Amino acid sequence: MSTKPVSIAVLVSGNGTNFQAIVDAIESGRIRNAHITCLVSNRADAFAIERAKKHNIKSFVLDHKNYKNRMEYDTAMVEILQRHNVQLVVLAGFMRILSSTMIDAFPNSIMNIHPALLPSFPGLDAQQQAFDYGVRYTGCTVHFVDSGTDTGPIILQAVVPALESDTVNTLTKRIHGEEHRIYVEAIGLFCDGRLRVEGRKVTIAQQTGCATNLL
Ligand code: GAR
C-alpha cells in the first residue's frame, strides 16, 4: 500500500451528495490514503461548491459555455488536473461526456457512478428509464470511464428492489443511499492499490495480495 495519499479531483455539476459522502469518508478514515486536491464544476451554481468551501477544498468553475468545443474544454480540464498532480478523477454527477483528451490523460483512473445496473439504462435519467420500464430490481454502478457512454469496466454494483409502492422519487432516494456506500468503497479500493483492470474485467486484490474476480 502506498503511503503518500492519492490525489483525487472530484468533478460535479450539481448538488454533490456523492462528493459529500466521499469527503466524509476521507475525514472519518473510512477511505485511507486519499486527499481531495480539488473540486471542478461546469456550473457556477452547483451546491457542491458550497460543500467544498465548508471543508476547505479548492474549487474551480469551468463553464463549458466558454469553450468552442468538447476538446478545448477537456484540454483546459486536463491542465487543471495535471497542475494539481491528480491521480484519480471521480465523476460525481458530472453531466458531461468526456472526450479522448481526458480519457487518454487518465487511463483507468477516471471513475463514474451511474444510477442504474449497467449495461441497462445508460445515459440520462437512468432512474426514470428503469421505473418506466417496470423493472423489479435496479441499482447503481461504479465503473471506470472509457470512450463510450457508461460502458467502461465495472468496479462495483449494488442492487435496489423497485417496489410496487415506489414513485420515481422514492426509488431514486434509495438508489442514492447505495451510491454513497459503493462509491466510497470503490474509491477506497483504488486508493489502497487493490484494483486491476484487464480488458472489461476489474479484479480486486485481497489484502493478503491474492486477486479475486468481482462477482
Ligand atoms: C447521482 O445520482 C449520480 O448517479 C448521477 O447524478 C447524481 C448526482 O447526485 N449521475 C449520472 O446520472 C451520470 N450519468 P449528487 O450530485 O447528489 O451526487
d(CA 189, CA 181): 13
Is residue 132 exposed (0-12), middle (13-18) or buried (19+ Cβ within 10 Å)? exposed
User: Given the CA of residue 18, which atom of ligand 1 is nearest to it?
Assistant: 18
Who lines ligand 1 at CB under 6 A? 14-18, 92-93, 113-115, 126, 176, 179
| Segment 2-14, tens digit of pLDDT | 479 999 999 999 9
pLDDT at 215: 43
| Domains of the chain by start residue, with CATH | 6-204 (3.40.50.170)
What is the Å distance from ligand 1's center to 22 Cα?
A: 13
Average pLDDT over residues 170-181: 98
pLDDT at 207: 81
Average pLDDT over residues 118-135: 98
How many residues make up the chain in this entry?
A: 215
208 confidence band (pLDDT: 50, 70, 90) = low
Cell of 141: 454502478
| Segment 84-116, tens digit of pLDDT | 999 999 999 999 999 999 999 999 999 999 999
Mutate to test the pocket of ligand 1, among 17, 124, 142, 155 (most ligand atoms within 8 A of CB): 17
User: What is the 3-class SS of 78-105, one letter each residue?
Assistant: HHHHHHCCCCEEEECCCCCCCCHHHHHH
Beta pairing, strands 195-198 & 201-205? antiparallel
